[in-house]
A and B are shown apart, each in its own frame.
Chain A
Amino acid sequence: MKRRGIGLFLLGGLLVAAGLVAFLSPRARQSPDGLQKVAEQQGLSKSERSNPLEKGPLAGYGLRGIQGPRAATVLSGLAGLAVAFGFGFVIFRLLGRRPGAAEREGPR
């Protein structure tokens, strides 16, 4: 059963992740998370400053210009998922291509 590639696994994993975004993210709790709740209760929130990028096209898991919060959440989530995949992938591809072996071959 070994010597399988990971193409199928990759595809399946990405489909599961996309499915989570598509079907579960619109139903996710909107209530504040643990840190936000504690910050509200203990008065930390009064020193909060907004992220300077809060006007960005995907900010707040929304999508500018798209009507309907559900579609906006899902589409922005899928965009984020794709970016996260690409970013993670590229970092390690570049890491593999850095002249690690070449360094050992000779001085430069």
Chain B
Amino acid sequence: MHIPDGFINLATSAGAGVIAGGGVGVSLKRARLALEEKTAPLAGLVSAFIFAAQMLNFPVAAGTSGHLIGGALAAVLVGPWVGVVCLTVVLVVQAFLFADGGLTALGLNIVNMALVTVLVAYPLFLVLRKFLPASKSGIIVASGIAAGFSVVAPAVAFVAEYAIGGTTSAPLGAVAAAMAGVHTLIGIGEGVITGITVGAVFSVRPDLVYGARDLLPKFEIGVQAR
């Protein structure tokens, strides 16, 4: 899902860079309002874990692989605002140190994989939770489904960016169909990995799952506030 340099023209890439900067700026502001002592270490851990998980390409179809993006995972574990920043950290490290994803395309990649994934995943997670039991399994299922859709959404965003500023003349319909198809498959993998990971964290430390804070007994919240 990392866009290399050259696919999308510079004007569109620059526009995405502005949107990315604005989105990350807003996320930092919002994250700061709810900053806790544990925010920094948890953000570091989520960034590191997502970086590691993104190295693990799994097979999805003949000759094609996919890997976790982690937008839904980050949003559920540390909240959407901190989550956007964690994904951005991963993308910046990948682009600058690992030459994974282009430099001029960094804004596009931040828009798609940090902003779009989280903006789709977290609201969807909250809606799904209303229809699911307020339990560990409810959290896992809601995370997994939200994660699946959060992979298709940036694929659609890429098609939109290609429609606006693509530097080649591939038929848009074919690109859209291919992107949606393969990322639906990758989305299943994303959903499974996200569900397992959220479930594991919830089992060990339910208090560290941002999206499940409402499940904590009230007295625990009172104790934590001190």
Binding site for B on A (CB under 8 A): 2-4, 6, 9-10, 12-14, 16-18, 20-21, 24-25, 28-35, 37-39, 41-44, 46-54, 56, 58-61, 73, 76-77, 79-93, 95-96, 98, 100
Contact = CB atoms under 8 A, between A and B. Distances in A.
B28 interface: yes
Dominant secondary structure of chain A at its interface with chain B: helix
10 contacts: A13-B49, A18-B52, A25-B56, A33-B2, A38-B175, A42-B175, A51-B4, A56-B98, A81-B52, A88-B44
Given A38-B182, A61-B55, A9 B89 contact: no
Nearest to B41: A10
B66 A96 contact: no
Given A47-B168, A86-B44, A92 B35 contact: yes
Contacts of A95: 28, 31-32, 35
Nearest to B3: A35
B63 to A, nearest CB: 5
Closest 10 A/B residue pairs (Cβ): A89-B44, A88-B47, A92-B40, A49-B6, A29-B65, A85-B48, A51-B99, A59-B99, A42-B170, A34-B182
B53 A20 contact: yes
B137 interface: no
Contacts of A48: 4-7
Contact of A49 (B4, B63, B178, B183): B4
Interface of B: 1-7, 28, 31-32, 35, 38-53, 55-60, 63-67, 82, 85-86, 89-90, 92-103, 155, 158, 162, 166-168, 170-171, 174-175, 178-179, 182-183, 185-186, 204-205, 207-208, 220, 223-224
Given A33-B65, A44-B7, A53-B96, A21 B42 contact: no
Given A20-B52, A25-B56, A30-B57, A42 B178 contact: yes
Residue among B52, B96, B186, B205 with max Cβ neighbours from chain A (10 Å): B52
Contact of B35 (A14, A41, A56, A96): A96
Contact of A50 (B5, B52, B53, B179): B5
Nearest to B175: A42
A85 to B, nearest CB: 4
Given A53-B96, A80-B98, A28 B179 contact: no
Contact of A85 (B45, B64, B94, B166): B45
B95 A37 contact: no
